[in-house]
Structure formats: structure tokens, C-alpha cells
Amino acid sequence: MNYTGKEINFFLKEQLALDCNCSPDDFEKEGIVFCEAKQNANRRPFPWSEPHFEMLHMGASVVVSASAKLLPYLQEQLAGKNRDEAFEMPFVIGMGLYYLPDKIQPLPLTEGFIFEFIERSDIPAYYKFEGFKNTLQYDVNHSRPDVLAMIAKKDNRIIGMAGASIDCKMFWQIGIDILPDFRRFGLAAVLTNALAIEILERGKIPYYGTSASNIASQRVAHRAGLQPAWVCSWRGRFDGKLTEPTC
């Protein structure tokens, strides 16, 4: 299915609003928007900690979603701050970059390798293979189950894999792993690209996340035809205590 950029942006704001307990329109406002965090139905089931904190930016406002007891402190600390100043505050720990398809085109499959899609029912059989922790959940009962994967093989050995987890109704997240000896062939971008296109053809939207410090992973996303869509701080430090990752 060929979603337009406008359609993808609509679905994204709807989902992030569920995750943050805010309105989709809040992402289009100016300045900083504060909202009380809640575990809404149909939110992406990432770990939840108390106190809860996350901060997102899609291009306009900065949305801060936090436990009620944190909000007065955050409102005081962030008063008058702009986007960059907000994400540079000392209580912000870690930052993730997230990518979505934008007029994605198929890449040619790398010669000399065999590529194969693996359907959901067959994925658990691959849990016996190590080295794919970014791709596979290694848990048949995971809250974000493995739903689709694409493998690359050389001499009948799996040397690369891209996998998708069902994170919510519309969005499947892509993870990628290439064994160290095979990281110079461009396989990460090829697998990510092919899996993203297959996800779109199945009527879902692929997304890809990485840390702000992982330049190699960001290059993979770019080469695969994915574009930056939002940034999220995934945890914070308050009263000397570190909150758990949330996104």
C-alpha cells in the first residue's frame, strides 16, 4: 500500500498522542506542551516506570509527558526554554531518533547472497541463532511480538537479518543485525529497505529507531530510504534516580 506522507504523519500523530496522553494537535503547537502521562489502551507497550518521563519533538512543539508529581518541576525548569535548550537539560538522559519511509524505492539485492522472507509462524525457529538481538525478541510471549523477518545467507549460513515487531496497530518497528565479518557489503540498508517495502505492501507502516550517537545506524536508515520523523528522550534522572527507558 502506498501511503502518502500526509497519511503517515496523520497515523503517527494519532499514535504518539496515545503514547503521551495528549492531543494529536499538540504536536503542531508552538513551544512546550505538558501532559500527564497515562497508560492508555493501544499505546505502544514499552516499559513503564514511576515516575514516568518522556519528551518528543516532531518539528513544531516539544511534548513533555510525565507523571503528575514531576509536572510542576518540569514546568518550572523548562519555562522560557526553546527546543534545543529543553533537550539539553541535565535531567534528560538519552535521545532516540526515529525514521519513517518517504517515497521509498527498492534497492537492488546484493549479489552473492541469498535473501528470504520469514513469516511470523516460522520466526521462533530462528531463536536458536545468536547475534540478532536488535532483530529478534527471542520470546514468543513478548508484548511486541516478532511478525516478519528477512534474512541474508552466505554459504548456507545466516549472516544478516532485519526483523519487524508489532508495536501497535499501524506501526511495525524494524531492527537490523549483520554479523561483524559481513558489514562492508551494504546488507543492512538492503535488508532494511526490502523489509520496509514489504511492510508497506501489507498495509502497515514501518519505522526504525536508533540512538543519537549511533551514526552507522543513522546511515543505514538514510540509505534504506527512511527519513527522520521524530526525536524522543527515553528516560530522565530525577532526585538522583534514573527512570527506565520508555520509547
Give, for all 247 residues of the chain, the pLDDT tens digit: 789 999 999 999 999 999 999 999 999 999 999 999 999 999 999 988 889 999 999 999 999 999 999 999 999 999 999 999 999 999 999 899 999 998 899 999 999 999 999 999 999 999 999 999 999 999 999 999 999 999 999 999 999 999 999 999 999 999 999 999 999 999 999 999 999 999 999 999 999 999 999 999 999 999 999 999 999 997 888 887 777 666 5
In a domain, 247, yes or no: no
User: Is the same domain home to 23 and 85?
Assistant: yes
Give the helix/strand (H/E) hosting 140.
Answer: none
**Number of structural domains, the chain?**
2
Residue 34 · residue 48 · CB < 8 Å: no
Tell me which DSSP letter residue 141 carries. Answer: T
* Residue range of the domain that includes 132: 105-224
Q: How many CA atoms lie within 13 A of 188 on its CB side?
A: 23
C-alpha triplet 138, 123, 230: angle, nearest 5°: 70
Q: Facing residues of 207 across strands?
A: 173
User: Is the same domain home to 163 and 126?
Assistant: yes
Tell me which DSSP letter residue 45 carries. Answer: -
User: Is the same domain home to 118 and 92?
Assistant: no
User: Is the same domain home to 60 and 37?
Assistant: yes
User: Is the same domain home to 113 and 194?
Assistant: yes
CATH of residue 147? 3.40.630.30
Question: pTM here?
Answer: 0.94
